[in-house]
Amino acid sequence: MQFDLKAYLARVGIAETPSEASPATLGRLQLAQARHIPFENMDPLTGKVPDLDPAALWRKLVENRRGGYCFEVNALLGTALSTLGFKAMPIMARVRNGAPRGGPRSHMAFIVTIGNETYLADCGFGGGVPMMPFRLDSAEPQEIVGETYRVRRDEDTGEEVLERQTSEGWYGLYGFERSPAFQPDFEAANFVCARWDKAPFPTNLMMARVTEDGRNTLFNRALKISRNGESEAQRIETFGDFEEAMTGLFGLPEQPALYSAVWDRIKDK
């Protein structure tokens, strides 16, 4: 299918087509998509393997205004970047989430080259990654929208590890190598993530959306609202509150049947 750049930009709240493939444009695009297209895994949770065909992704994410997980939202981001003239190399990463080593390569992100600079761009990790592109040419920690990150070389695994600074120290998010991944890699990992009983996606609801002053995240019924560096934890108790969070905090359209099916999966968690 032909990518409708104007419709995509409207979906992510950008009124005018960017004039150049610059670092500023990359940052604007990543932040805009993270604000308007949430991370969510409701399809794997309700027994579906997400369809990565470009036309299916377009219907789900743009026309139907849903969200998706990394193989969906980052695929859309990658097509937008390519259409705008960016050199964006897709990579596969091993999720760590604080562990000393990662699991299988189950996460998709991009290394974007602009002139002599390289950036890590990612809209699909589900919370905790930089809201704006991370410069890979510097070993120094970088503050991005009030959060501090670094990339550390792990000599044991040969990976570069993206880490976030927390009150308890540096927290490893995922490890990656600077080698390209291809569509068969994503198709295989997508199926494993959606169906494997050891993957988190078929059994837990995970959601994230960047806001003007922070982010909203949800793990099953545990809701976290972060604003200007301060966080508030809540627990969703009723289906009505769950529906309200979907359409309000996460910006999704009304979908009673889907939300009911998801609620049945998480109401006792």
CA distances to 141, 161, 174, 187, 240 from 244, rounded to whole Å, are 38, 36, 32, 33, 6
Report the Cα 77 to chain-centroid distance in Å: 10
**Has 122 been annotated as catalytic?**
yes
> Which of the following is catalytic: 122, 137, 154, 193?
122
Max Cα–Cα distance, the chain, nearest Å: 52
**Has 70 been annotated as catalytic?**
yes
Please state, as a whole number, how many other Cβ atoms lie within 10 Å of the Cβ of residue 87.
Answer: 14
Distance CA 19, CA 16 (A): 9
What are the start-end ranges of the H helices in the chain? 5-11, 23-36, 42-45, 54-57, 70-83, 183-195, 239-247, 256-266
DSSP-assigned letter for residue 149: E
The token pair that represents 207 in the structure block: 């959601």
HEC readout, 212-237 = CCEEEEEECCEEEEEECCEEEEEECC
> Which of the following is catalytic: 4, 43, 51, 107?
107
State residue 225 phi and psi, 5-degree precision. Answer: -115, 115
> Which of the following is catalytic: 36, 51, 53, 70?
70
**Has 51 been annotated as catalytic?**
no
Q: Cite the active site residues.
A: 70, 107, 122
